[in-house]
Each structure stands twice: as structure tokens, then as C-alpha cells.
Amino acid sequence: MKLRHLALPLLASLALITACSQEPSTGAPGAPVSAADTTPIAAAQALDVLAAQGKGFTAGALMSANPVYVLFDPQCPHCSHLWEASLPLHSKVKFVWLPVSLLNARSTPQGAAIMTAANPVEAMTAHEKSLLAGQGGTSASASIAPEVEAAIKANTVLLDRLGATSVPYVVGKNQRTGEVVTSAGSLSTEALGNLLGL
């Protein structure tokens, strides 16, 4: 009986969590491998570094001068919610989605499958619907081109260098203030629009 009373508050508090985090002791693929890889990235430099070093796919207003970067793990349901929240903003915002590998062995193959799809936006939409429906997301081959696997590992290192401890992680520029803004965790469409100054 006491366990039941403890379980309900615990479940309620877990429902409030809006981001997925890597457990420090998991040794997940993509973890930083050298001291040079852990050099912190200052917030003011985040956009430039992600533009130069991040690898992913673009969705939304492709001609927008102010891209918004989203580091996501394909196995993260909060990333799925952010994907859905971003869809109404696609006419106004250029999103660059950068897959990382934090959560489990399916993260890298699914990220690779989405990145290399003929139409990554359609692939991402189908993947996220499957993940939210509890079906595990896109089926993906464990055989990944070395350069694609290296790109996902590099994105994961960038996430760590940004000081982020969870996904989704958004880096953009507020269009009203011109300030670089960041956010960890899922956001509603309205909250995402507000973050970006739309």
C-alpha cells in the first residue's frame, strides 16, 4: 500500500519531464572520445558552430536567413512532440534537424535512415508518428555508411559541447531581439514561436 502512495507522485512528476536525457553511466554511442571534443561552445557562437559543423536535414522555409537548429534523438518522444509543434511554423522558419545518439542502439540507425532518405521531412514525419504511436519508429538497417555514422557522432559531441544534457535542444535567433536563444525540452507551437520571436 505504501508503494502505491509513493508510485503515484513519482508517475505524476515523470509526466512533467519534457526532455530525454542520457544516463551518465550508459556509455552510449557518440559520447565524446577526446579532450579536444569537449571544448565548450559559448552561446554567442552556437549558431556559427552548428552551421559549420552540424549535419542534418532542413525543413520549413528553406530560404530563411535565420536557421533554427534542433538537436534530437530519434528515440525521444519529446523530440517527436517538438517536431509536431514545429510543423505550423514551417512557412516562417527554416529548421535544421541534427540527429544525435543518446538513448539507445536504435538512435543512430534511425537518425541515419532519416538523414539519408530521399525526402527527409516525409521520413521524419512518418518516423515521429510511429514513435508516438508506440511502434518504435522507422525500421532502419544497422549497416550505416561510415560518414553518416561519423556525422551523428559529431552532432552528439556538439550537443555535449553546448552544455546540453537532454534533447530536444533548440538553438536559434530571436527575430525581434536578435539574441541567440536556446531551449532544452519540448515546446508547444506557441512557446516555440515566442522563443524565436515570431
Contact indicator for 35, 139 with CB cutoff of 8 Å: no
What per-residue confidence (pLDDT) applies to 105?
Answer: 94
Judge: domain 37-179, CATH 3.30.930.10: no
What per-residue confidence (pLDDT) applies to 132?
Answer: 93
Residue 72: strand pairing partners? 99
What per-residue confidence (pLDDT) applies to 110?
Answer: 97
Please state the domain extents for the chain: 37-179
Provide the angle, in degrees to the nearest 10, between the axes of the packed helices 107-115 and 146-161. 110
What is the reported pTM?
0.84
What per-residue confidence (pLDDT) applies to 142?
Answer: 85
Separation of alpha carbons 39 and 36, rounded Å = 6
What per-residue confidence (pLDDT) applies to 21?
Answer: 66
What per-residue confidence (pLDDT) applies to 38?
Answer: 78
With a cut of 50, list the residues of the chain below it in pLDDT: 1-17, 23-36
Cis ω before 74 (30° cut-off from 0): no
Segment 112-144, tens digit of pLDDT: 999 999 999 999 999 999 999 999 999 888 899
What per-residue confidence (pLDDT) applies to 26?
Answer: 38
